[in-house]
Amino acid sequence: MNEAEKNCIFCKILRGEAESSMVAENDLCTAFLTIGPFNAGHTLVIPKRHAVTFTDLTPAEAAAMAKLAQQVAAALEGSDLPSEGFNLWMANGSAAGQDVFHAHMHVFPRLKGDNFRVEVTWPQPPRSELDKVAGRIRAALEAQA
């Protein structure tokens, strides 16, 4: 076990060295309540293997994470917890707001007027600029193949 895994709070939860309120699991991922919920039922879905970001996941882990997040979201919708919708949130890297460096997806119920805000102004670049950016991404995808 490397130092990052040894000190990772999510890895400690998986090893039973830290408390958690478990919700569900599958072969590759686990879901538990966050200790800092935005609304009741705010759940984290994490891979069982230590991976820092979404791009560090194997395709199977990414699929398992999405499947478990979908199941948790459906359970939140079907539960008696207050919910008028839900958000999925995943921050990757410190610039994106990631504060625990073990990949994790937030699944949390939303209520009208709950004051959750992500404020952003979406620029609308010209199509020619979008086409250039798309070409750069396609080139990177081809390089991965």
Lookup: tokens for 126 = 């010209």
Give burial (CB, 10 Å; 0-12/13-18/19+) of 31.
buried
Q: Which of 42, 102, 104, 106 is an active site residue?
A: 104
Q: What are phi and psi of 30, to 5 degrees?
A: -135, 150
CA dihedral 22, 23, 26, 30 (to 10 degrees): -50
Question: Known catalytic residue: 104?
Answer: yes
- The type of residue at 106 is H
Q: What residues contact 88, with CB distance under 8 A and at least 6 apart? A: 69, 73, 105, 106, 107
Catalytic sites, residue numbers: 104
